[in-house]
Each structure stands twice: as C-alpha cells, then as structure tokens.
Amino acid sequence: MLNELFFSSMTALLVCMALIPFLRIVAERFQIMDQPGGRKVHAHAVPRIGGIAFAVGACGSIAWWAPQDVTTFSVLAGCGIIVLFGVWDDRADLSYRVKIVGQLIAALAVVVGGEIWFTTLPFLPDVDVPAWAGMCVTVVFLIAVSNAVNLTDGLDGLAGGLSFLTLSGIAYLAYLSNDSTVLMLTVPFLGAILGFLRYNTYPARIFMGDGGSQLLGFMMGVLAVLLTDSSRGPFSPSLALFLLGLPFLDTLGVTAQRLAEGRSPFVGDRAHIHHKLLKVGLTHYEAVTVIYLIQAGMIGVAYLLRWQSDRLIVPLYLGLAFFVLMLFIAAGRGLFPAPTSRAGHVFANATIARFVNGPWLTDVPIQFLAVTVPLFLIALVFLPSSVPNDVGYVSIALFAVVLIGLSCSSQVAPYFVRGGLYVGTTFLLYVCEGSRTGAVSVVATAHNVFFVVAAVMVFLSLRFNQESRFQTTPLDYLMVFLAVTFPLLPGVSADVSHLGMFAAKLLVLFFSFELLLHAFSARVRQLGLVSLWILFGLGIRILL
C-alpha cells in the first residue's frame, strides 16, 4: 500500500510539473490570461490554466493506481466535468448560472453515478436519512465547497496551500481509520498540488484558474463526504466543517458583510480575508503564511475533535463562525484601519551586522553545499544492495533523456538537469532507505549527520546569501513544517514515520539543488553529470 501511495504521488507531481511550461505557452497563444486591474493584486498578465496540469496529473495517477471501481470512475467523471466547465469559464467568462449548471452536473455524476452521499446527518447518527434527502444535501454541499475554494483563490499560492493542508488532514484521518479508498484518492492530489505550487507561489508564473480552484473544492467536498459519513467510518459529518476550515468561513464572512452593507452577495469585491490582511499592512508572504497557520489550526481542531459528538463539534464551529462574522463586519465598517507606516527591520549593533554580512554566513554555507552535496550523491550510489526493476528501467530512460538535454542550449539544459536531479535523487534515496536496515551503524550515523549539517547550511544560505537569488516562500515553510511534524503525529506507524523522515531528507536535497542551480548557473552541466551518474548507477544494477 505504501508503495502505491508513494508512486501515485510522485507520478502526479512529475506529470504536473512537466505540463506547466507547455500550458503557459498555450495560455499565451489562446489568450487565456488573468489580466491585472480591479480587485486583482497582481501587476502583470498571468496564464490561468494551471489547474489543467494538476488535474491531469492527479486524475491520471488515480486512474492508474487506484482501484478500478465505481467510486473511482464516478469521481474521475465528476472531476473531468468540473474542470471542463472551469476552463471554459477561464476562456469565456461564463455567468454564474452556467457555472452552477456545470457544478451541478459534476455533483450528480458523483452522487448518482458513484452513490456517494451523506446517509446520516449531524445530531441524527442513528437515523437513516432518505436517499433523496441525503443526495440533495450532498449536491448542495459539493457546490458550496467548490465555490468556497474558488473564492479564496485571490493570492499567489493561497488556494493551493489551503487545499494541500485540508487534503493532508483528510489523508491523515483516513490513515487512522484504515480508509484505503480515501487515501488513494487523496495522495495523488497532494503530489500534484506540490508540483503546481512551485510555479504558483509569489510571484506566480501561472494561476490555477476557475478550472483548478473549483476542482480542488469539489474534490475536497467529495473526500469529506467519503471520510465523515457515519455509515462508512467512525467520524461525524459535522467534522467536515473544520476540515474545510477557512474557505467556508471566508465565504460566510464575505456574504454576511455584503448583505449587511446592502450589496449583492454575488458581486465580487476586496472583502475576503486575504484582502483584509493586506489592508492592515501585511505583505503578500505574510498574509499567505497567516492564512496557512489559521487553516492548520482548524485542521488540528478537527483532529482533536475526531472522536467527539456533534453536541461539541457543532457549537464550537458556530461560535467560531460568529466570531469571524463579527470581525468581517467590523473590518468592513473601518474599525481596523490600515497602518500609516511600516517599520523596517534594522540591525541595532554594528558588530553583529558586520558578522552577518561577513563570509562565514554569506559564502561558506553555499560553498560547503557545492562541494559536499555532489560528493555525497556520488558516494550514495554505492550504498543500495539492490534496485527494483521498475526503478532501474525508469532510470535508464531518464539517463537517455538527460543526456540529450545536456546537448541542448544553455537555456534548455537546466530544466533537464533539474528534472534528473529531482527524480534521480528521489529514486536513490528511496532504494537507500530500504537498504539501510542492516547497514553498519557508523555509515547510518554519518548519513544522518550529513543531512543535519546540510540542513543548517541550507538555512544559512537562504537567510544570508543574497546572491543566490533563490527566495523562500510560504510553500517552503509549509513543507518543512509537515516534514518535521508528520513523523511525530500520534498513531503513525514506524513505516510511515520512516517515510516522513525520507521526505524531510528529500526537502534538504531539493533546497540544496535550487541554491546551487541559482548560485552557480555557469556550472549547470557539472550538476548534470552528477544526475547522469545517479541515473546510470541505478540503471546499471538491473543489467548486471
């Protein structure tokens, strides 16, 4: 099961990242661009069909790895319908009535075709709800979630990050309840969103568009129904309110503020929570990070309340919703004015400033990574005792692709080098982790020490080396937080905890690659030789 989850996630991630450059060209060719102006916060036209990339990556991975049953087929059909209408909307700017029709058809494909609906309701766990009533409630719920996530898509990386947090919470609860269906439908979307967010965090190079945001909301709603319906598992349907978290509250707050001011709830404005955070003086990064923290807190509350009754869950949510509504209405009436100035961060001590700007923090860390990371990877190729056949064959194919890429122009070669390093290192670390169970303790200790030291050097380089031109984003902080905390979560088995540490090590190496590719752009082909060595070392094992 773990292998299927790992490869389904990696398949979705790689397909998504491979499609985005092509989709950017298509968007410019057919003018599917998000133009600045009005309530938009970006200053330049940006392609807005990125949702197609993670839709193809996630849905294709699900079709390949998930069980071939009615549930899978109905979910994929619903996803296809909602993406089709969303992309149509991105191209032709449809009316809200046509959007609702598309969402209704997608919801019916899941509810009627897959027989996925709420069979119980909050406060009525022992009462069988009539099928027609459960279907109606579920259709309304799916349409509401689809629009709620669509409305939160107002800052770079915001809707994708919120969806990633929610899907992570759903996946963890599904793992605790041994719900393999929800896991196989969730994990590919996690991988695809990660691939998309690398291009969507500020400043975004592509937007997901309505096709992507509605798909994420729709999928989160479907998974929430599957996970929390009491007839299928141990969780209450009311838990979905906390799992979906901020998008629901934001939509509720905006609607209440518009009605309180005598305006139509369907007319867009700058009243969403991300607009309010920008208005009070937060930067783009800070606003997104704050919203991530709020959403993570709500997912944490959902975890703490997972075994509680509706008598506790619903009142807590209603209290939180009332508090949010009051904040929105107060902000709409100008009770929280924007600050007139923003203090800069300065060093009070000149000695500290000289130390921070000296070579020990600006040059030494990046030079350390430039020497040790390639040497570590070259040596690591000798560690695995065996290589699975599928990994070996894929490595051989990628070796040929990267070799061809290195013969291309200097503008194209870095993309092949980056892909070879990312995929080759993932495969190498994966087979090495499986081979270290009987490894000598000295080797295992040295392995772990390297990653600790490398992590420190990566942090110092990101913080103090301004010439690297590689900036951290809220996505980076999110990934580090999840990689560090996931292995420590209650109920996580030793195998899954081990997978979490594997992800943390991958993050260290991926950050190192980005730093080196930016700081030593003239030496890209040398890093390409390292990727070729890794892929060759993995591929040759199955041929010998």
Mean pLDDT of 408-432: 83
- Specify the pLDDT at position 468: 52
- Specify the pLDDT at position 256: 72
**DSSP conformation class of 121:** B
- The whole-chain average pLDDT of the chain stands at 80
* Whether residue 345 has pLDDT greater than 50: no
| Range in 370-374, 425-429, 484-488 with the lowest mean pLDDT | 484-488
* Whether residue 282 has pLDDT greater than 70: yes
Q: Is 262 exposed, middle or buried (0-12, 13-18, 19+ CB in 10 A)?
A: exposed
* Whether residue 336 has pLDDT greater than 80: no
- Specify the pLDDT at position 352: 41
The sign of the dihedral angle between the CA atoms of 294, 192, 150, 120 is negative
- Specify the pLDDT at position 62: 95
* Whether residue 243 has pLDDT greater than 80: yes
* Whether residue 404 has pLDDT greater than 80: yes
Domain ranges of the chain: 67-189+209-332, 350-543
State the pLDDT confidence band at 344, using cuts at 50, 70 and 90. very low
What does each C-alpha distance from 223 to 83, 148, 187, 341 come to in angstroms? 17, 16, 11, 44
Residue among 403, 395, 397, 445 nearest 425 (CA): 395
Residue 283 is encoded by which pair of tokens?
């930067």
* Whether residue 289 has pLDDT greater than 50: yes
* Whether residue 492 has pLDDT greater than 70: no
Query: What are the tens digits of pLDDT across the range 89-132?
Result: 888 888 888 999 999 999 999 999 999 998 877 666 666 778 88
Mean pLDDT of 50-73: 92
* Whether residue 421 has pLDDT greater than 70: yes
State the pLDDT confidence band at 512, using cuts at 50, 70 and 90. confident
Query: What are the tens digits of pLDDT across the range 172-227?
Result: 999 888 899 999 999 999 989 988 887 877 677 888 888 899 999 999 999 999 99
- High-pLDDT (> 90) share of the chain, %: 21
What does each C-alpha distance from 476 to 157, 247, 331, 459 come to in angstroms? 11, 22, 30, 11
- Specify the pLDDT at position 188: 94
Mean pLDDT of 333-350: 48
* Whether residue 360 has pLDDT greater than 70: no
Please give the Cα distance from 177 to 169 (Å, whole number). 12
